[in-house]
Structure formats: C-alpha cells, structure tokens
Amino acid sequence: MWRSTFSLQASRGVAALKNELLQSRSFIRGMKTVTLIPGDGIGPEISEAVMKIFQVAEVPVEWEERNVTAIQGPGGKWMIPSDAKESMDKTKLGLKGPLKTPIAAGHPSMNLLLRKTFDLYANVRPCVSLEGYDTPYTDVNLVTIRENTEGEYSGIEHVIVDGVVQSIKLITEQASQRIAEYAFEYAKNNQRTSVTAVHKANIMRMSDGLFLRKCREAAEKHKDIKFTEMYLDTVCLNMVQDPSQFDVLVMPNLYGDILSDLCAGLIGGLGVTPSGNIGAQGVAIFESVHGTAPDIAGKDLANPTALLLSAIMMLRHMGLHKHAQKIETACFNTIQDKTVLTKDLGGKAKCSEFTKEICQRVRDLE
Amino acid sequence: MAAHSAVFSASRIINPLWGRHLGNAVKVFGTTLTSHRNKTLHVPPPAKYGGRHTVTLIPGDGIGPELLSHVREVFRFSCVPVDFEVVHVDSALEAEDDIENAITAIRRNGVALKGNIETKHTMPPSVKSRNNLLRTSLDLYANVMHCQSLPGVQTRHKNIDILIIRENTEGEYSSLEHESVSGVVECLKIITRSNSLRIAEYAFQLAREKGRRKVTAVHKANIMKLGDGLFLQCCREVASGYPDITFDSMIVDNTTMQLVSKPQQFDVMVMPNLYGNVVSNVCAGLVGGPGLVPGANYGRDYAVFETATRNTGKSVAGKNIANPTAMLLASCMMLDHLKLYSYANLIRNAVLTTMNETGLHTADLGGRGTTSEVVQSIMRVIQSKGQFTADI
C-alpha cells in the first residue's frame, strides 16, 4: 500500500521523541511534521502523488497520517478520533483530501466537525489563472478570505408558525475583528496591495454594518494597505466583467461561500483551486475542496493539482518559500506544456504519469 | 386600499410601544395577510384619462435623474401617450415622508418608473433602504430580469438567454435586525410558504407564457435546511402542476460556478431574495454590464420598472457617459405593461438597432459615445420609421 512500514515506524519514533521534548511544532533533524488526512474516494491516490512530489523536491516535511471519521464520544457528542486530534494539536499543520459527506448518517459533516474542533475561523482561497488551462478569464489573481464560523451558517432556524420559517444570521464583533485582522495580516505577508470588504450594509444595516466597522478599524491599523468596501452585487457584476481589478476580498460566511466558488469557476473549477483554513492557536489545515469522485477512485485517473496547490500554500505558510516556488513552477510548467495532462484538464494521461512529469521537472529545476 | 392603510396605522400604533422591529414584522407579514383578504376586492383601473396614461416617475440619485430625463425626451419625441408625475425622494433625510409620498403616488397611478435611491451609510441603522421599503409596501413580490446576449456587444460568453425571477419582498431583506447583547447582532431571514408558493407559481406561469422549457430553483438547502428547504419544497409542489416544464434545483455556489463556465445551460431561474441579487448581477455582467439590462418589479396591483442591477452609478453621474439602454428598455417594458405595444416595439427596435447595427457604444461597453449621442441616434432611427414624431 502507499504507507510503507519504514516511514510509519520512523514517524512513530519521531512522535515519541517529540512528546518528550516539545509540545508545539518541533524541528527534529530539521524536519517539520505535518498531519496528513488522505480522505475518501480519490483522496488516497492524490495524497500519494503529493507525497511523492515532496520527496523528489526534498521538502523537509514528515507526514503523520491519520483518518478522520465521526465517532460518538461520552454524552453522545460527535467528535473526531482522539489520535487525529492529538496529532493536529501537536503539529498544528494539516493537509486534507476530500471527505465524503454521508447523507442521513446522523452526524454532521466531517468538514463541520473539523471546523468546530479547531476553531477554523478563516477560509483562504487564492485564485490564480492557470496558463495552459484555458478559461474565458485569463487575468485572475485574487484571494478570497471568508469568515467561517458564524454569519448565515449559524444553523439556527425555527418554524415560527406553520409555513413561516426564520433563519438567524449572527454577526459578532469578536469574529468580525478576528477575520478583518487576519485579512490585513495575510495581505501584508503575501505582498498584496489592497483589501476589499464585501458586504450588503445597505440592506442589512446593523449586521453587515458591524462587520464593515470592524474592517474599517483594522484598516486604520494597516495604513500601508489600500482598503475599499463594495456591495456584494457590485462585486459579482464587476467580477464577471473584469476580475483583474480585485486583490484580497474579505467577507462574512455566506457571501464568502458564493464568491469563493464564483472565483474558483473563473479559473477552471474546484479541481484546480487550493484552499486553506486558519484556526485559533495557530492551527492551519490546507485542503482540496473538490469532491471524492467515487466514480474514478482507484483508477489512477484523478487530478492531484488542487491538493498539490494547497500543499504549496502550506509550504508558504511554513516559510519554506524556495521549495514552494520550485514545486509550483514545475506544476505550472507541466500544465502550460499541455503534453501530459489528466482527463479533467483536457488530456489523456494517468494520475501517476502526471505526477511523474512534475517530479521530472522538479529534478530539472534543481 | 383600505386594508393596506389599516396595516400602516396598526404598525404606527404598535411602533411606540414595541419599537420599530415588531412594526416592521407587521409590515412584512401584514401585506401577506391583507393580500389574501383583498383577493375578492375590485382591482383599481389604470390611471388613464383621455387616452393618456399617468405614470409615477422617481428620479432617485446618481445617474437616475439624467437617464429618466432622456426617457422623457424619447417619449415626447415619439408622441407616446404617457404623462409622468414626478416625485422626488431625498435620500439624505431620516424621515420617511418622501418615500411615503412616492408610494401613495404609485398606488394612485398603478405604474412607476424609477431610478435607484441611495442608502447612505452615515445614517443610523434605523433608517431602512428606501428602495426596499417601496418594494415591501407595495408588495412587489416578483423581480423579473431577462438576460440576453446582444449581437453588437462583445462578451466572453455567447448565446445567453436566461429569465431570472427573484422573490422580492422577504428572505434576507426582511430588515429585521437587533443587537440583543452588545457586540452580537442577529439578522432574521424569513421564508414563508405563501410567498414561496406565490413566486414559484409566477415563475412557472411566466415560463409557460414565454414558451420556456426548464425552470431551475436556486437555493442553499443543504445548510439552511428549514428555510431554503421550505422554498424548494414549494417550488416542487408548484412544478408538479406543470408537467410540460422540466424542473430542477441547484445549490447557489454551484450555480455561480456554472454561470461563469457554461451559462447556456440555464433557461428560467427562480430563487429567494439574496441569491437573486447575486445571480442577477452575475448574469448582467455576463451579457455586457449594468447598462444593458432592464428589470421589472411586479406585484398583484402595481408594477415598478427600473434597471435590473439597481445601481446609483455615482461615479459616472453628471458626465454624460452613462448607458441609457437599460433605462430605455425598462421604459419599453412599462409600455408593454400599459398595453401600448406599438410604441414599445418602436422604441425597443430603435435602441437595439443603435446598439447592434450602428455600433455606437458608451464607455461601459468600450466605446466612445456620449449618452446624448446615443439618444439622438435612437431618435433618428425612430424618425426614419416614418411615425408621427414631434420636432427634435
């Protein structure tokens, strides 16, 4: 199988050492440990592809694989398995493949459980047009930062009388402040020039008004970054006409959901879009946002680009910029070349061939 | 009429006791309740005297006044039998007298043409959006927008022909918000069975009338299970009564992704208020921008016409570069509503000829024409059709 006993034993040994020495992310022989959650469907094969590419690029990362399924703890509360939680608490970094959401399984979706367990408050999606994978939009280079814990997705709904349903959208000062601060920090750390707050404060005067106020306050503290605010409908209108005018977008939950998928659609869909979730206490989980694709699972047809780009995001988050740049260049060149592409990108190659091509380019870039 | 004023006076009595929030709730639910009782009452006849119609005109802010003056110019030139009753709404005032006057004028005339009224952020949150107030008071429950690719306009996608029907009075735009604990704001999204059934019925009727094959409901029922779940259920119920029309549903984020990659797959779309906002703006952007698409708000008794994307266009106001197409096409929709079909077709054809054949475009379409040049060109086309026209 893809997990060799040697690396498993090695990671167990490393984990034991770490537990004795340090609690937080540690450097043993210069290696950082990252929790890997392969996921379901095509998850395992694309995770293997990423591990192989990282190995060839000699990235100082060690993988600790865990599986995430919902288990019922004491008191009937649903939670993730304790070994997965321990691993994440220790490494503070995760790379996750697609997880299947079972219908009527009695428990909430795994993504929701992970989000609640680690308080993943910011969902970051950089959308950059891929050269070689042509869409009608060629000049997209923006980042959507979405508040991920409250807003319209609070899940609080009531039936007031028969035939009248009320959903509550919750906006708190604390969460809005946190996401606004993060947006400006991200812009500063990634050499971005402007942040745009997306809202509908003309209609939702108090709730989006509060969000907007917090964004304005955060903008005051970061005067070197340009701050604008724009209505959601204006953003949608301008996005499909000229996406190059946008840089970093920050917004509450629902608008973020719609806009981040809109931007993913501009560059070619969820199969080529990376995504990162930032949590409190420095936890970060990077994931591919596409589905599990059960119809092509196990057939070596999957496209590992989304997971690979998310892993590259993770490298940048860790500060390993040189490795990130190398792997990213290899990946982009492969797609631009158009000779070895998986089926969803318009080619005929297998997943393993695509991976091998990227590995070869990484070696050539040494 | 009497029922509506009863709702207003009831809310005014309740207001001092319970604050604006319950009053707003009365307005939101009140119009729904009274509209059922009004079903048997006589619908007032259109404001028509001596063969001439009277239509309320609300200039609004930004580019509204200049575009509407162009509409009046074209109407006068084409000798359209429509007189305008102009009602100004000052967006800088906190009192609601202006908008109340406008609403009364629309009740009187039955039909209105309006520009967008700005909602200033410097005002306190108790000052609600004037446009929203107008829509909910008059119970203009259906917002209809027809997005069509025009041959003369360069866009990334071709052959788009989507009819969007958006619920216009409830959903996220209920304006019911409160701060129960300092720093925590709750905003209520209301979905009712009766309004969802009403909009679904409207959508399917319109689809059948226009010979459309497929209706897609846009929702987020995987997250908002009760709210959007109710909406979806109502759409399905209504769909079962129209076996000749295919019905399917799509989650809103997938919808936006599909719209930017393959918009040709959509035919008629029906959705609640906020998703309607997003989808209609995306579609307007796909066919060429906010200057091209007209929108209509229909209620049981009243109809208000405006541009589909409802922009004030402050950045282009007063510079003679705004695109008059959307407002002129909206006025043609209004003429259709008043059953003045020949005038509607005359002006619409002139506008489309100028857009597609002469190639005179304003700045938003990448051209260099001014608003007045485009309007002059439209009037020349109207004159060339040999109709009786006034002097230029």
pLDDT value, residue B43: 58
Nearest to B227 among A167, A172, A258 (CB): A167
Tell me how many residue pairs between chain A and chain B have CB atoms under 8 A apart.
169
Q: Is the dihedral of CA B144, B146, B147, B150 positive or negative?
A: negative
**Measuring CA to CA, how many Å separate B372 from each of B28, B349, B350, B364, B368?**
41, 18, 15, 15, 12
**Does any CB of chain B come closer than 8 Å to the CB of residue A172?**
yes
Q: In terms of CA atoms, which chain A residue is nearest residue B118?
A: A202
Distance from CA of A195 to the nearest CA of B (A): 19
pLDDT value, residue A254: 87
- Note which residues in 99-158 of chain A have CB less than 8 A from chain B: 135-137, 152-153, 155, 157-158
Interface touch A172/B177, C-beta < 8 Å: no
Average pLDDT over every residue of A102-124: 81
The CA-CA-CA angle for residues A124, A130, A133, to 5°, reads 130
Nearest to B253 among A209, A238, A261 (CB): A261
pLDDT interval class at B50 (50, 70, 90): confident
**Cβ-based contacts of B226 with chain A (< 8 Å):** 157-159, 165, 167
**Cβ-based contacts of B156 with chain A (< 8 Å):** 136-137
Distance CA B158, CA A172 (A): 43
The per-residue pLDDT for range B194-250, each reduced to its tens digit, is 999 999 999 999 999 999 999 999 999 988 889 999 999 999 999 999 999 999 999
Interface touch A170/B311, C-beta < 8 Å: no
Across-strand partners of A277? A123, A285
Distance from CA of A148 to the nearest CA of B (A): 13
Higher pLDDT, A178 or A156: A178
The per-residue pLDDT for range A274-320, each reduced to its tens digit, is 999 999 888 999 999 888 888 888 899 899 999 999 999 999 999 89
Interface touch B184/A157, C-beta < 8 Å: no
pLDDT value, residue A344: 86
Q: Which residue has the tokens 């992970």?
A: A114
Of the ranges B13-27, B225-239, B250-264, which one carries the lowest mean pLDDT score?
B13-27
Distance CA B116, CA B137 (A): 16
**Does any CB of chain B come closer than 8 Å to the CB of residue A257?**
yes
- Residue B38 — φ and ψ, nearest 5°? -75, -10
Residue A113 has pLDDT above 90, yes or no: no
**Cβ-based contacts of A236 with chain B (< 8 Å):** 256, 278, 281-282, 285
Interface touch A240/B220, C-beta < 8 Å: no
The per-residue pLDDT for range A157-214, each reduced to its tens digit, is 999 999 999 999 999 999 999 999 999 999 998 899 999 999 999 899 999 999 999 9
- Residue A98 — φ and ψ, nearest 5°? -70, 140
Residue A140 has pLDDT above 70, yes or no: yes
Distance from CA of A359 to the nearest CA of B (A): 31
Distance CA B53, CA A252 (A): 46
**Cβ-based contacts of A269 with chain B (< 8 Å):** 257, 261
Nearest to B183 among A174, A233, A236 (CB): A174
Interface touch B227/A157, C-beta < 8 Å: yes
pLDDT value, residue B120: 86
pLDDT value, residue B126: 84
pLDDT value, residue B36: 44
Nearest to A265 among B191, B230, B257 (CB): B257
Distance CA A103, CA A41 (A): 16
Residue A21 has pLDDT above 90, yes or no: no
pTM: 0.86
pLDDT value, residue B22: 44
Interface touch B185/A206, C-beta < 8 Å: yes
Distance CA A312, CA A307 (A): 9
Residue A211: partners with Cβ closer than 8 Å, 6 or more residues away: A171, A176, A197, A199, A201, A252
B7 closest CA partner among B112, B129, B139: B139
Nearest to A172 among B183, B289, B309 (CB): B183
- Note which residues in 177-206 of chain A have CB less than 8 A from chain B: 200-206
SS3 breakdown of chain A: % helix, strand, coil, rounded to 5?
Answer: 45, 25, 30
pLDDT value, residue A7: 59
Interface touch A240/B286, C-beta < 8 Å: yes
Q: Which two tokens stand for residue A112?
A: 């929701």
- DSSP string spanning A81-142? -HHHHHHHHHH-EEEE------TTSSS--HHHHHHHHHTEEEEEEEEEPPTTS--S----EE
Tell me the pLDDT of chain A averaged across its residues. Answer: 88
Distance from CA of A242 to the nearest CA of B (A): 9
pLDDT value, residue A152: 82
Tell me the pLDDT of chain B averaged across its residues. Answer: 87
Higher pLDDT, B303 or A26: B303
Q: In terms of CA atoms, which chain A residue is nearest residue B286?
A: A240
Interface touch B261/A164, C-beta < 8 Å: no
